[in-house]
Amino acid sequence: MATRREINRLNDHLKRAFEGEAWHGPALLSLLADVTAAQAAARPLAAAHSIWELVLHIAAWERAARHALAGQPIHVTDDENFPAVTDTGEAAWQETLATLQYEHQLLQSAVARLTDADLDASVPGGSYTFYYLLHGVVQHDLYHAGQIALLKKGYPA
């Protein structure tokens, strides 16, 4: 019988970093819950990405990780990595948030289908394992959540 103990732990880390009850503090969705489209598009730090761009970036890498789990080499173009935000309306922001949640749910579902033994396999076209990739996704979410938290501090009071 294939074991799933580590898979369950990884999925728990993915969930906590994204949805909440994380040890470190607010998870990604908690930080985004009160962000408006105007705030998401704003650049309180001129040289930094906007919250909107970061959300699209996170979604792109969650999608890339899921595709790797399906046997595809990881390839994210510059346009996918930090897509340009052309519509800054509230409906477009809500659609962006829905896309982020959708990509995360698909990734978690893909991870749930793995066994612990699958974690030792190499990512297609990569020199690292799925274990490394999936821990990287958790770290990536939290890294950008920290950036989002700092950008929110730049909003006018």
pTM > 0.75? yes
* Cα–Cα separations (whole angstroms), residue 140 to 52, 74, 82, 92, 98: 16, 15, 14, 24, 19
Residue 51's domain comprises 5-153
In this predicted structure, what is the pLDDT of residue 155?
78
Question: What's residue 50's pLDDT?
Answer: 97
Q: Rounded to an integer, what distance in angstroms lies between the CA atom of residue 64 and that of residue 140? A: 13
Q: The CATH number of the domain where 48 resides is what?
A: 1.20.120.450
Look up tokens 């909003």; give the residue: 155
Spell out the residues 6+ positions from residue 96 whose beta carbon is closer than 8 angstroms to its own: 40, 52, 55, 56, 59
Residues of the chain with pLDDT under 70: 1-2, 157
Domain count of the fold of the chain:
1
Using one digit for the tens of pLDDT, what is the confidence trace for 118-141? 999 999 999 999 999 999 999 999
